[in-house]
Amino acid sequence: MKRVAIVVGAVALLVTGLFVATNAYAANLLSNPGFESGNLSGWSCTGSGSGAVTSPVHSGSYALNGNATASDNAQCTQTVTVQPNTAYTLSGWVKGNYVYIGVTGGASTWTPAASAYTKLTVPFTTGAGQTSVQVFLHGWYGTGAYNADDISLDGPGTPPTTTPPTSPTTPNTSPSPSKSPSKSPSSSPSTSPSTSQPPVTGLPKHALIGYMHASFANGSGYIRMADIPAAWDVIDLAFGEPTSVTSGDIRFNRCSVSECPNVESDADFLAAIKAKQAQGKKVLLSIGGQNGEVQLTTAAARDTFVSSVSAIIDRWGLDGLDVDFEGHSLYLNAGDSDFRNPTTPVIVNLISALKTLKAKYGTKFVLTMAPETFFVQLGYQFYGGTSNGDNRAGSFLPVIYAVRDFLTILHVQDYNSGPIWGLDGQYHTMGGADFHIAMTDMLKAGFPVANTGQTFPGLRPDQIGIGVPAAVSAGNGYVAPAVVQSAVTCLVKGTGCGSYTLRGGTSPAFRGLMTWSINWDRYYNWEFMNAQEPFLNALP
């Protein structure tokens, strides 16, 4: 989930009364923005062969040539100093297929095909206390080289006078990269469906699921628990975050009055949770998100995770847990190629922790997961480092497999994603019903895991939901409610599927829709809720 969402413009911000500093703009804050040094000075770039070239250029004498390959998206990053609570605009001219520009951990945009230099623009607002940002450019795995020129970060600050420090070159995970397959995979994999029975959780057959910004406002404003409409069946409190990446010590801090002036008292928050539960709603603690990287590298961290999460659940009387691990929380060590028997500590310890929590809270414990496509469906093409790729690819698969008998809902984020290879032997991209159909069908049908010789078995349909942004400001990949409904209709009834053939068959027990977020939906006058709740209720 993305705590920092796409900014919708000064007009929208004024409507909500959100104050953003509007200091006079300084000169471009980036060093070597047009690569006129003739090299990559000021930038930290991956990709063998990436560098400054004399043609094609947008202006001046040089431009960036990013050499994206099957195993590297040729990402270039630069970190600059900024001011808190301030509006900035990142822009640049790009050329090539699938070229991205954005802010690490924040807003981004992309073009699928630019045969000539095309300008991309990303407005964003820094958070409270934020003093630096990392901007990035990258291409796409297996889609060839790209060019970029005249990159600009405009806003108040001090333009660089010397080369700024470079930053780590870990790949950007929003959107999550997918990579070209080395061969065309089978379009009809054999599957071994789950035979476990649905847990007793009290959820409706088709549920509306949303995240509440419980510990921050994020530009959309704070919404009190008592003011969340009854349409929402599952409310995920975002977020529980660790005291450090490897501590396992999870803390849930409610939004401060300075950031959320209308935040309710702890007593009122607790009373509202109990009132929701009395109505049959489920309230969960969501752990991770964009900023909450959690690596359970040791048994001690695992045990601390269990005890700290239990303390939060008990403190607020919650119904369970949502695992929203992103970034580098999960990965697979070299040689760990069997998702059924993982050996990487961060995987093994997370599985053990979830099983311990399930045993502690019993049959009514609600467990949901919201991974990005990179960590699930990309495992069809690439799994860990087995294909000389990113060792995080498909890394949620062993966790899902291990807890499949008590996993309540897997609602993969069908947004902030690059193209993903589907069971029909085609790439599927965001922007239409086809993407949701193909991604969800993979979860129902199951699929071979890259080149491991193993098949990930499909889940029960009641365990499967679709995750979508509530509005254009909530994440890349937003589509109108009618498009989402078209996808669900195909999955549930088998009609309106276009050219796609369901490999997993129809799913009348399909669980429902998850959105990031309830706050953004309220900001946009409840467009998502008003369209999707009656639609879900009308499904068979």
Residue 326 annotated as catalytic = yes
Percent of the residues in the chain that have a pLDDT greater than 70, as a whole number: 86
Handedness of CA 407, 413, 417, 419 (dihedral sign): positive
What 3-state DSSP class applies to 441? Answer: helix
Higher pLDDT, 501 or 98: 501
Mind listing the pLDDT tens digit for each residue in 9-58? 333 332 333 333 333 334 689 999 999 999 999 999 988 889 999 999 99
Query: pLDDT of 387-403, one tens digit each?
Result: 667 899 999 999 999 99
- Quick one: pLDDT at residue 158? 58
Q: Which of 326, 372, 527, 533 is catalytic?
A: 326
pLDDT at 55: 96
- Between 98 and 269, the more confident residue is 269
Does residue 347 sit in helix, strand or coil?
helix
C-alpha distances in Å from residue 488, one per residue of 198, 434, 540 = 21, 10, 12
The residue that leads in pLDDT, 284 or 105, is: 284
- Dihedral, 238, 134, 396, 247 alpha carbons, nearest 10: -70
Q: Take residue 373 and report the two structure tokens written for it.
A: 């496509």
Report the alpha-carbon angle 467-469-471, nearest 5.
155
The answer to whether 146 touches 66, Cβ cutoff 8 Å, is yes
Type of residue found at 353: A
| DSSP structural state of residue 458 | P
Instruction: Tell me what pLDDT residue 155 has.
Output: 83
Does residue 357 surpass a pLDDT of 60? yes
Single-letter amino acid code for the residue at 242: P
Residue 47 confidence (pLDDT): 80
Least confident of 104-113, 166-175, 293-302: 166-175
DSSP letter at 113 equals E
- Per residue in 218-267, pLDDT tens? 889 999 999 999 999 999 999 999 999 999 999 999 999 999 999 999 99
Of 33-37, 81-85, 306-310, 327-331, which gets the smallest average pLDDT?
81-85
What pLDDT, on the 0 to 100 scale, is given for residue 113?
82
Write the pLDDT tens digit of every residue in 528-539.
Answer: 999 999 999 999
Of 8-22, 159-173, 294-308, 347-361, give the lowest mean pLDDT range. Answer: 8-22
Specify the pLDDT at position 189. Answer: 36
Q: pTM for the full model? A: 0.68
**Reported confidence tier of residue 65, pLDDT bands at 50, 70, 90:** very high
What is the tens place of the pLDDT at every residue in 79-125? 999 999 888 899 999 999 889 898 886 777 878 788 999 999 988 88
C-alpha to C-alpha distances, 340 to 283, 396, 469, nearest whole angstrom: 30, 12, 32
Predicted local distance difference test score (pLDDT) of residue 413: 97
Lowest-confidence segment of 16-30, 132-146, 348-362 by average pLDDT: 16-30
Average pLDDT of the chain to the nearest whole number: 87
